[in-house]
Amino acid sequence: MISICFATNNKHKLDEVRSKINPQITILSLEDIGCREELPETCPTIEENSAQKAQYVAQKYKVNCFADDTGLLVDALNGAPGVYSARYAGPNCSPEDNMNKLLTALQGVENRKASFKTCITLVLNGKQLQFSGEVNGVILTERHGEKGFGYDPIFRPDGYTTSFAEMSMEEKNTISHRALAVAKLYDYLAESK
Protein backbone atom coordinates (compact mmCIF):
# COMPACT_ATOMS: atom_id res chain seq x y z
CA MET A 1 0.00 0.00 0.00
CA ILE A 2 1.48 3.35 -1.10
CA SER A 3 0.56 6.59 0.72
CA ILE A 4 1.16 9.76 -1.20
CA CYS A 5 0.10 13.35 -0.63
CA PHE A 6 -1.71 15.34 -3.30
CA ALA A 7 -0.45 18.87 -2.68
CA THR A 8 -3.69 20.78 -3.21
CA ASN A 9 -6.23 22.68 -1.10
CA ASN A 10 -8.88 22.14 -3.78
CA LYS A 11 -11.41 19.55 -2.57
CA HIS A 12 -12.84 19.12 -6.10
CA LYS A 13 -9.41 18.17 -7.49
CA LEU A 14 -8.83 15.80 -4.56
CA ASP A 15 -12.17 14.04 -5.18
CA GLU A 16 -11.46 13.81 -8.93
CA VAL A 17 -8.06 12.23 -8.39
CA ARG A 18 -9.22 9.88 -5.61
CA SER A 19 -11.99 8.58 -7.87
CA LYS A 20 -9.46 7.87 -10.63
CA ILE A 21 -6.58 6.34 -8.67
CA ASN A 22 -6.30 2.65 -7.70
CA PRO A 23 -7.51 1.83 -4.14
CA GLN A 24 -4.05 0.32 -3.46
CA ILE A 25 -2.76 3.91 -3.34
CA THR A 26 -3.90 6.10 -0.44
CA ILE A 27 -4.14 9.75 -1.46
CA LEU A 28 -3.52 12.05 1.49
CA SER A 29 -4.60 15.68 1.50
CA LEU A 30 -2.49 18.60 2.71
CA GLU A 31 -4.72 18.67 5.80
CA ASP A 32 -3.86 15.00 6.46
CA ILE A 33 -0.14 15.88 6.68
CA GLY A 34 -0.74 19.03 8.77
CA CYS A 35 -0.11 21.55 5.99
CA ARG A 36 -2.52 24.48 6.24
CA GLU A 37 -0.49 27.11 4.43
CA GLU A 38 -0.85 28.52 0.93
CA LEU A 39 1.62 26.80 -1.41
CA PRO A 40 3.99 28.92 -3.51
CA GLU A 41 3.04 29.47 -7.17
CA THR A 42 5.44 32.11 -8.43
CA CYS A 43 6.75 30.56 -11.65
CA PRO A 44 5.95 31.67 -15.22
CA THR A 45 4.87 28.24 -16.54
CA ILE A 46 2.42 25.50 -15.55
CA GLU A 47 5.26 22.94 -15.43
CA GLU A 48 7.43 25.07 -13.12
CA ASN A 49 4.53 25.93 -10.77
CA SER A 50 3.66 22.25 -10.47
CA ALA A 51 7.28 21.39 -9.61
CA GLN A 52 7.58 24.30 -7.16
CA LYS A 53 4.56 23.12 -5.14
CA ALA A 54 5.59 19.44 -5.13
CA GLN A 55 9.18 20.18 -4.07
CA TYR A 56 8.01 22.57 -1.34
CA VAL A 57 5.71 19.98 0.26
CA ALA A 58 8.16 17.07 -0.18
CA GLN A 59 11.02 19.00 1.44
CA LYS A 60 9.09 20.73 4.23
CA TYR A 61 6.89 17.79 5.27
CA LYS A 62 9.22 14.91 4.33
CA VAL A 63 6.56 13.06 2.33
CA ASN A 64 6.22 11.58 -1.13
CA CYS A 65 3.80 13.83 -2.96
CA PHE A 66 2.54 15.18 -6.23
CA ALA A 67 1.21 18.58 -7.21
CA ASP A 68 -0.59 19.75 -10.28
CA ASP A 69 -0.96 23.02 -12.06
CA THR A 70 -3.57 23.59 -14.71
CA GLY A 71 -4.12 26.33 -17.20
CA LEU A 72 -6.79 27.24 -19.70
CA LEU A 73 -5.11 28.39 -22.91
CA VAL A 74 -7.35 30.41 -25.24
CA ASP A 75 -6.13 30.79 -28.84
CA ALA A 76 -7.64 34.25 -29.43
CA LEU A 77 -5.96 35.53 -26.23
CA ASN A 78 -2.49 34.24 -27.16
CA GLY A 79 -2.69 31.44 -24.59
CA ALA A 80 -4.16 33.53 -21.75
CA PRO A 81 -5.22 33.08 -19.01
CA GLY A 82 -2.67 30.20 -18.99
CA VAL A 83 -0.61 30.02 -15.82
CA TYR A 84 -2.83 32.76 -14.31
CA SER A 85 -6.10 30.83 -14.86
CA ALA A 86 -6.98 30.54 -11.15
CA ARG A 87 -6.40 34.26 -10.52
CA TYR A 88 -7.25 35.67 -13.95
CA ALA A 89 -9.64 38.29 -12.53
CA GLY A 90 -7.32 39.26 -9.66
CA PRO A 91 -5.73 37.89 -6.47
CA ASN A 92 -8.90 37.10 -4.48
CA CYS A 93 -11.24 36.38 -7.37
CA SER A 94 -13.89 33.66 -7.55
CA PRO A 95 -14.42 31.20 -10.42
CA GLU A 96 -17.43 33.36 -11.38
CA ASP A 97 -15.18 36.43 -11.64
CA ASN A 98 -12.75 34.50 -13.86
CA MET A 99 -15.51 33.26 -16.16
CA ASN A 100 -17.04 36.75 -16.41
CA LYS A 101 -13.67 38.26 -17.36
CA LEU A 102 -13.04 35.57 -19.98
CA LEU A 103 -16.52 35.82 -21.51
CA THR A 104 -16.13 39.62 -21.70
CA ALA A 105 -12.68 39.30 -23.33
CA LEU A 106 -14.16 36.97 -25.99
CA GLN A 107 -17.30 38.97 -26.77
CA GLY A 108 -17.71 39.12 -30.53
CA VAL A 109 -14.67 36.87 -31.11
CA GLU A 110 -15.28 34.05 -33.60
CA ASN A 111 -12.25 31.90 -32.80
CA ARG A 112 -13.19 30.35 -29.47
CA LYS A 113 -10.69 27.45 -29.60
CA ALA A 114 -9.03 26.66 -26.28
CA SER A 115 -7.28 23.85 -24.46
CA PHE A 116 -6.96 22.80 -20.86
CA LYS A 117 -3.50 21.61 -19.86
CA THR A 118 -2.51 19.91 -16.60
CA CYS A 119 1.02 19.14 -15.49
CA ILE A 120 1.56 16.86 -12.49
CA THR A 121 4.93 16.76 -10.75
CA LEU A 122 5.63 13.69 -8.65
CA VAL A 123 8.35 13.68 -6.00
CA LEU A 124 8.85 10.05 -4.99
CA ASN A 125 11.77 9.07 -2.78
CA GLY A 126 13.60 12.24 -3.81
CA LYS A 127 13.14 11.66 -7.56
CA GLN A 128 11.10 14.14 -9.62
CA LEU A 129 8.99 13.22 -12.66
CA GLN A 130 6.32 15.08 -14.64
CA PHE A 131 3.17 13.88 -16.40
CA SER A 132 0.90 16.03 -18.53
CA GLY A 133 -2.54 15.86 -20.08
CA GLU A 134 -4.28 18.17 -22.51
CA VAL A 135 -7.79 18.41 -23.94
CA ASN A 136 -8.89 20.67 -26.79
CA GLY A 137 -12.25 22.36 -27.03
CA VAL A 138 -14.05 25.68 -27.29
CA ILE A 139 -15.16 28.44 -24.95
CA LEU A 140 -18.95 28.69 -24.97
CA THR A 141 -20.72 32.06 -25.08
CA GLU A 142 -22.57 31.36 -21.81
CA ARG A 143 -22.51 28.98 -18.86
CA HIS A 144 -23.95 25.46 -19.20
CA GLY A 145 -24.27 23.01 -16.29
CA GLU A 146 -23.85 23.02 -12.52
CA LYS A 147 -21.21 20.31 -11.99
CA GLY A 148 -17.44 20.59 -11.99
CA PHE A 149 -15.52 23.69 -10.98
CA GLY A 150 -13.43 26.53 -12.36
CA TYR A 151 -14.10 27.17 -16.04
CA ASP A 152 -16.05 23.90 -16.54
CA PRO A 153 -19.41 25.61 -17.30
CA ILE A 154 -17.95 27.47 -20.30
CA PHE A 155 -15.60 24.80 -21.73
CA ARG A 156 -16.90 22.20 -24.21
CA PRO A 157 -14.36 19.53 -25.21
CA ASP A 158 -14.01 18.67 -28.90
CA GLY A 159 -16.29 15.83 -29.98
CA TYR A 160 -18.90 16.51 -27.28
CA THR A 161 -22.15 18.48 -27.20
CA THR A 162 -21.97 19.29 -23.48
CA SER A 163 -19.70 21.39 -21.28
CA PHE A 164 -17.51 19.80 -18.59
CA ALA A 165 -20.04 21.15 -16.03
CA GLU A 166 -22.85 19.14 -17.66
CA MET A 167 -20.94 15.85 -17.42
CA SER A 168 -20.93 13.43 -14.51
CA MET A 169 -17.61 13.12 -12.70
CA GLU A 170 -17.26 9.63 -14.21
CA GLU A 171 -17.65 10.94 -17.75
CA LYS A 172 -15.36 13.95 -17.21
CA ASN A 173 -12.80 11.64 -15.60
CA THR A 174 -12.45 9.63 -18.79
CA ILE A 175 -11.49 12.61 -20.99
CA SER A 176 -10.29 15.57 -18.92
CA HIS A 177 -6.78 17.02 -18.94
CA ARG A 178 -6.34 16.13 -15.27
CA ALA A 179 -7.65 12.59 -15.84
CA LEU A 180 -5.14 12.05 -18.65
CA ALA A 181 -2.24 13.30 -16.50
CA VAL A 182 -3.43 11.26 -13.48
CA ALA A 183 -3.66 8.11 -15.65
CA LYS A 184 0.04 8.54 -16.57
CA LEU A 185 0.89 9.12 -12.89
CA TYR A 186 -1.04 6.02 -11.86
CA ASP A 187 0.62 3.86 -14.53
CA TYR A 188 4.00 4.97 -13.26
CA LEU A 189 3.11 4.30 -9.61
CA ALA A 190 1.64 0.89 -10.49
CA GLU A 191 4.88 -0.09 -12.25
CA SER A 192 7.17 1.21 -9.48
CA LYS A 193 5.53 -0.62 -6.56
* Residues carrying an active site annotation: 69
Amino acid at 126: G
Q: If you write DSSP's letter for every residue of 40-52 in order, what string do you get? A: P---SSHHHHHHH
Comparing CA positions, the residue from 125, 135, 113 lying closest to residue 182 is: 135
Cα gap 122→81, rounded to integer Å: 25
79-96 CB burial, b ≥16 within 10 A, e <16: ebbbbebbebbeeeeebe
By the 8 A CB rule, do 134 and 181 touch?
Answer: no
**Beta-carbon-side half-sphere exposure of residue 48 (alpha carbons within 13 Å):** 8
By the 8 A CB rule, do 36 and 30 touch?
Answer: yes
Peptide bond into 44 cis (omega under 30): no
By the 8 A CB rule, do 8 and 68 touch?
Answer: yes
Residue 126, number of CB atoms within 10 A of its CB: 8
